[in-house]
Chains A and B, each alone.
Chain A
Amino acid sequence: MSEALLELNGLSKAFGAHQVLDGVSARIRPGEIVGLLGPNGSGKSTLLNAISGFLPPDAGRVTIAGTDITARPAHVVTRAGLARTFQLPNMPTRMTTREVLRAGDVAAGAPRHMLRRTGRDDRIDALLEMFRLAHVADLPASSLSGGQKKLLSVALALRGSPRLLCLDEPTAGVHPELRTEMVRILKQAAGEGTTLLVIEHDMLFIRQLCSRCIVLDRGHLIADCAPDELEHNGAVVEAYLGKAVQKGKTAR
């Protein structure tokens, strides 16, 4: 097995008496697109928060390309090459869509012109085009619809060409036609060297995008297999997938 880009070792987290993550271990290799599945409340978002530095785990270790980032502050994890989106993307209230994308380079020490209100930038224009946000580029980002905010947050995360991109339900509220487009964009990003970890409930999207899935149930890792094998996995079917497979089939 080649060296893992992301390695989780016995990650645990409890909120009071509620054990949300219980000794989760996993490895993700460079260039992989991995789906993170599980029923509601299974610990997916908590796992993402623990990886990205927004929630220190109680126990366990997280490494990116061999560097220990366990419980490091979010900005340190981001500088180590991890970008993420949020399930409910709140956007800045006083910045336009274009400004939000420009500010995405703050951490990398962007040249000053990137953060000015006006002025063009080819890459940002391309991202706006790609995510069909060009017509709202100069509107306040907080005035976008829920789906558009999702698209903007994915564009923002892709903006810095991260080594590892973690997406929390990227297609929720997004038009079906754009989901197919998003699969293409994310596969292209993976082709350019970005590794992806994607939380998603849409099984069709997962099948189209991911090469591997890991499944959580009540804080335990219960499966690690290809998307097509999920429906034959007894533990997964029992925990969750009975419903989800049918949903995926009807969607097709």
Chain B
Amino acid sequence: MIQFLFDTVIRALDLALIAVALSGVYSLIKFPNVALVQYSVTGAFLGMLLQQAGLPLLVALPLSAALVGLLAMLFNVLLFERLLEEGSAIALIGSLALSMILSAVFLLAFGPAAYRFDLPVAPAMRFMGARVTVHQLSTLAITLVSLGGFAAILFFTRLGREMRATATNCVLAAASGIGTRGVINATVFISGVLAALGGMTLAMRGSVSIDLGTQMLLPVFAAAILGGLGNALGAIAGALVISAAETFVTNTNFGPLFGQDFLFAPASYAQTASFALLVLFLLFRPAGLFTSEVNRV
């Protein structure tokens, strides 16, 4: 049981960083940026290259995250601001195209092989009966610090207040003197940073290859939608639910149900769990787990 909880939490952390980024940006510019999952792959590759260039990991990680943040801002100014003038559907298609282009660039640059960070091999430890690796613990630390930092920005800084005001009513925010374009670009930067960190923590515990982004797309979207698209911190709860479902599907012995000793679902069925949950939520609770909004016509 402890192992199940732990696996769920670790998987949730991967999803949470990217899902929070997706939801945070959605709250401001009202379109889900598919390319965010590729930003996380970019972050992972970039972090690895920086490490290979001789930078210590503790420098390579934040530097890569910051560079991806800038890249996200650049794409926003050059591409998405223009596409959004034509509507959010156009911007969504544009982000899909950008995602494919980035994927093709990765294929050219890195080929189909999987890459790993250069990390010392650490034996697994036992914690309350569960197997835990050092890399899992560092993932936990990085994610908690990043999400905590994001929540602190959102609730305790002037930028955070302006982000919330812009998200709830962009026109009224502008009429109150908030520079909404700057606020949006700052949020896009933060989303790039979070996505890159998510990609790097994933790569630290396994490897990164060009199809990582595509693999993340469905569970990240499912987590963001469960949390209520646009509710950045709700995405964390969404990530927990999705990863619990995924962990349940892959870690449960279904053998007794079918009169066998052992029967485990293949790991690729994890995606099925997030897809099934996504469909159920879209059918019965399309606004997500938490619906607090009141809209009067």
* Interface of A toward B, CB cutoff 8 Å: 52-54, 73-76, 78-79, 83-84, 86, 90-95, 103-104, 106-109, 112, 115, 140, 142-145, 156, 160
Q: Does B158 contact A (CB under 8 A)?
A: yes
Do A94 and B177 have beta carbons less than 8 Å apart? no
Tell me if B295 and A109 are in contact (CB < 8 A): no
Assess the A75–B165 pair: CB atoms within 8 A. no
Say if the beta carbon of B174 comes within 8 Å of chain A. Answer: yes
Considering the complex, give the chain B residue whose CB is closest to the CB of A100.
B172
B176 contacts across to A, CB distance below 8 A: 75, 78, 103-104, 106-107, 156, 160
Known contacts A106-B162, A143-B296; A74 and B174 CB within 8 A of each other: yes
Whether B178 pairs with A107 at a CB distance below 8 angstroms is yes
Inter-subunit contact B181/A78 (CB<8 Å): no
Residues of B within 8 A of A54 (CB): 171, 174-175
Contact B165 A92 (CB under 8 A): yes
Chain B residue contacts of A115, Cβ below 8 A: 161
* Closest Cβ–Cβ distance, residue A87 to chain B (whole Å): 12
Contacts of A112 in B (CB 8 A): 156
- CA gap between A86 and B176 in the complex, in Å: 12
**Distance in angstroms between the alpha carbons of A143 and B294 in the assembled complex:** 6
Instruction: Looking at the assembled complex, report how far the CB atom of B270 sits from the nearest CB atom of chain A, in whole angstroms.
Output: 33
Is B180 engaged at the interface, CB distance under 8 Å to the other chain? yes
- B296→A52 contact, CB < 8 A: no
Partner of B161 from A73, A106, A144, A160 at Cβ < 8 Å = A106
- Alpha-carbon distance A18/B117, docked complex (angstroms): 61
Contact of B179 among A73, A86, A108 (CB under 8 A): A73
With the chains together, A213 CA to B1 CA distance in Å?
75
Q: Give me 29 A-to-B residue pairs in the complex whose CB atoms sit less than 8 angstroms apart, sorted by A's number.
A: A53-B174, A54-B171, A54-B174, A73-B174, A73-B181, A74-B175, A75-B174, A75-B176, A75-B178, A76-B179, A78-B175, A79-B177, A84-B175, A86-B171, A86-B175, A92-B169, A92-B172, A93-B168, A93-B295, A94-B168, A104-B176, A106-B161, A107-B177, A140-B294, A142-B294, A143-B294, A156-B176, A160-B176, A160-B177
Interchain CA distance A143-B174 in the complex, whole Å: 22
Residue of B nearest to A162 (CB): B177
Does the CB pair B172–A106 fall under 8 Å? Answer: no
Nearest-CB distance from A8 to chain B (Å)? 19
- B168/A92 in contact, CB under 8 A: yes
Contact of B295 with A142 in the complex, beta carbons under 8 Å? yes
What residues of A have a CB within 8 angstroms of the CB of B178 in the complex? Answer: 75, 106-107
Chain B min CB distance to A245 (Å): 33
B residues bordering A, Cβ < 8 Å?
Answer: 156, 158, 161-162, 164-165, 168-169, 171-181, 292-296
CB neighbours of B294 from chain A (8 A): 93, 140, 142-143
Q: How many angstroms between the C-alpha atoms of A74 and B168 in the bound complex?
A: 17
Closest-CB distance, A60 to chain B (whole angstroms): 21
CA distance A104 to B172 in the complex (A): 9
Q: Which residue of B lies closest to A114 (CB)?
A: B161
- State the CA gap A57–B164 with chains docked (Å): 30
Q: Least Cβ distance of B231 to chain A in Å?
A: 9
4 residue pairs, one from A and one from B, having the closest CB atoms:
A107-B177, A92-B168, A78-B177, A74-B174
B174→A90 contact, CB < 8 A: no
Q: Which residues of B contact A73 (CB under 8 A)?
A: 174, 179, 181
B28 CB to nearest chain A CB (Å):
13
What residues of A have a CB within 8 angstroms of the CB of B171 in the complex? 54, 86, 90
Residues of B within 8 A of A104 (CB): 176
* B168 contacts across to A, CB distance below 8 A: 92-95
Best-surrounded residue of B164, B168, B169, B177 (most CB of chain A within 10 A): B177
Which of B162, B165, B293 counts the most A-chain CB atoms under 10 A from its CB?
B165
A109 partner residues in chain B, CB cutoff 8 A? 158
A52 to B177, CA, bound (A): 11
Task: Please name all residues of chain B whose beta carbon is closer than 8 Å to the beta carbon of A74 when the two chains form the complex.
Answer: 174-175
Set of chain B residues within 8 Å of A53, measured between Cβ atoms:
174
Chain B: minimal CB distance from A56 (Å): 13
A192 to chain B, nearest CB (A): 20
| Residue of B with least CB distance to A145 | B296
**Chain B's nearest CB lies how many Å from the CB of A26?**
21
> With the chains together, A103 CA to B156 CA distance in Å?
14
What residue in chain B is nearest A85 (Cβ atoms)?
Answer: B175
B291–chain A nearest beta-carbon distance, Å: 11
B294 to chain A, nearest CB (A): 4
Closest B-chain residue to A90, C-beta based? B169
Q: Which residues of A contact B165 (CB under 8 A)?
A: 92, 103, 106
| B-side contacts of A90, CB under 8 Å | 169, 171-172
| Assembled-state Cα–Cα distance A93/B293 (Å) | 6
How far, in Å, is B257 (CB) from chain A's closest CB? 44
| Min distance, Cβ B99 to any Cβ of chain A, angstroms | 30
Q: How far is the CB of B114 from chain A (nearest CB, A)?
A: 42
Give the residues in chain A near B292, CB-CB below 8 Å.
Answer: 94
Task: Report the bound CA distance from A78 to B295 in whole Å.
Answer: 27
Minimum CB–CB distance from A167 to chain B (whole Å) comes to 12
Closest Cβ of chain A: how far from B174's Cβ, in Å?
4
